[in-house]
Structure 1
Amino acid sequence: MSETIGFLLNDTARLFRRTFNARMKDSGITALQWRLMIYLRRHAGIRQGPLAELIEVEPITLSRMIDRLAEAGLVERRADPTDRRAWLLHLTPRAGSLLEGIAPTTDALVVEAMEGLSTAERDQLAGLVERVRANLSRRMCQREKV
């Protein structure tokens, strides 16, 4: 193999983002905003700090992103009943509709990326990448505890 697995994974992710952004140009949604909304769908009611850690952006960067999505009517901040200084983040119904509407485009991108791979190869690839991610995630968690 001429390239390292780290390079291949990063370059592939870059190409996914670039292609996604090109196809979503008219929607006004970027790959990072889409990723943020997917995380919010999975973690409804999360605070900004933990969300920034999940998507690995600086809190101020996330705050600006949330501001833009809130202005677009896609995300809302709700007061945290346990801490009046904190806000809980939720997708709006409009965001849910948007995510459903762009799902065919994201699905088509995955199909295109997996072209030429058999079902077994697709499953194997997904399983292997999930294991790599779990290995790295576990090691990150161990380092953070030290």
Structure 2
Amino acid sequence: MTYRIDRLGTLFQDIGRRFWARFEHRTAAYGLSAAQWRLLGQLLREGPMTQAALAGLVGVEPISVSRLIDRMEQQGWLRREAHPEDRRARIVVATDKAREVAPTVRAIAEVLYDEALAGLDDEERRVLHATLQKITENLQAADAPAPIPETVK
């Protein structure tokens, strides 16, 4: 029989909410929200890219990313530049300010990871990471709507 985990979605949501709340509390002095850091982290890892590509990477609708980029541009975290091959598109680029603050913010996140994973040895951490990766892959592959269980019909 397969072990069934009740409230799995709620558990994931609670973990994320608590993690990002702590993150925002500790990074308040920098004025970076969790959403801004996620976007900036992708941009720093992947390099300059279009707004649409960035929206896809962070899993947010393009209009929401546009508003976020507007705020971040006003705060000096990034800038939009002309696309070298497409006059209609703009490339989003991290600023020097973002690159200077990134190591400190990454270190804050690393401390939070250690706090969240306290009590787990290296093998448990490895298994947890692999398991979460597999769950992510499963959910990304689940494009088609699932059948409705008989008990719900």
Q: Percent identity?
A: 34
Match of 2:73 in 1: 70
1:32 deviates by: 0.6
> Is 1:118 the counterpart of 2:121 in the alignment?
yes
Match of 2:44, as an amino acid? Answer: R
> Is 1:53 the counterpart of 2:56 in the alignment?
yes
Give structure 1 stretches of 5+ with no counterpart.
none
Higher fraction of helix? 1
In 2: Cα distance, 1:138 partner to 1:43 partner? 23
Segments of 4+ moved more than 4 angstroms: none
Equivalenced residue count is 142
TM-score by length of 2: 0.84
Match of 2:52, as an amino acid? Answer: G
Indicate the SS of the match to 1:84: coil
Root-mean-square deviation (CA, aligned residues, Å) is 1.8
In 1: Cα distance, 2:45 partner to 2:112 partner? 21
Give structure 2 stretches of 5+ with no counterpart.
146-153
In 2: Cα distance, 1:7 partner to 1:57 partner? 20
In 2: Cα distance, 1:55 partner to 1:97 partner? 22
1:54 deviates by: 2.4
Match of 1:51, as an amino acid? Answer: L
> Is 1:27 the counterpart of 2:30 in the alignment?
yes
